[in-house]
Amino acid sequence: MVTSNVMCYALLAASVNKQNHLFQSNYLAGLVALGLYELEECGSLTWDGDSCVLGQPVPEERAYLAGLYQSIAGEADHSMRGLLGMMLKQGAQAFSEQVNQWMVDQGWVIATTKKGLFGVESQRLEADAQEVAAAKQFVLAVTTGEPVTAEQLTLAQVLLKTELLYECFDRQEAKAVKTGLVSAAEHADSGSLKLLETIDQAVVWALAAVATVVLS
């Protein structure tokens, strides 16, 4: 069963073939933001104001984050904005491929490769229906009015900000998630509110970095 936000997010995107879309910038922005969140969650990164400090190596059960960790280690600018800009310019695609391979290895998706226009090969991921359903239920928990975890709030917020929410869920579900996020924020403690603000800002900066890359 998928147990991490990065994997839930990637699995939901795979269910609508978003990773392989020509214009996948929103997806990559959310993936990198969640990657930074998970590095902090597993003790491999902490924040000192707006700058990160690397901690212990990535644990084996989250080896898909190792490339992201190494990319940060090789950078002089450890501000959140600087790291997001760096990753979206040169490291996000590699991180996405590592995440995809992890999902394949776990049996959560099946990868097929075919040649397209001009003989260029492209990979398509077919997501396991049961795993996708479980990931959706994890997100839809924010619609129940019951207490939810920081992970559920974070994932729902990133899906909303990157607009993947509207592609991975039907209109009624997406509307309920958006309403549930507002309600959850009204009742959240200060730590959860700070987390939502941080992830929201991270996605905004990541999307801005993507726009810079596209226009350059």
Give the predicted TM-score (pTM) of the model. Answer: 0.88
Confidence of residue 145 (pLDDT cuts 50, 70, 90): confident
More confident of the two residues 178 and 124 = 178
Mean pLDDT of 174-187: 89
d(CA 4, CA 194): 20
pLDDT greater than 70 at residue 162: yes
- The percent of residues above 90 in pLDDT, for the chain, comes to 43
Q: Which long-range contacts (CB under 8 A, 24 or more apart) does 35-38 make?
A: 35/6, 35/65, 35/68, 35/95, 36/68, 36/80, 36/83, 36/84, 36/202, 37/5, 37/154, 37/199, 37/202, 38/4, 38/5, 38/6, 38/62, 38/65
pLDDT in tens, 92-119: 888 999 999 999 999 999 988 876 666 6
Confidence of residue 82 (pLDDT cuts 50, 70, 90): confident
**CATH code of the domain made up of 5-215:** 1.10.3630.10
pLDDT greater than 80 at residue 197: no
More confident of the two residues 84 and 134 = 134
pLDDT greater than 50 at residue 22: no
Q: Where are the domains of the chain?
A: 5-215
pLDDT greater than 70 at residue 121: no
The confidence score (pLDDT) of residue 117 equals: 63
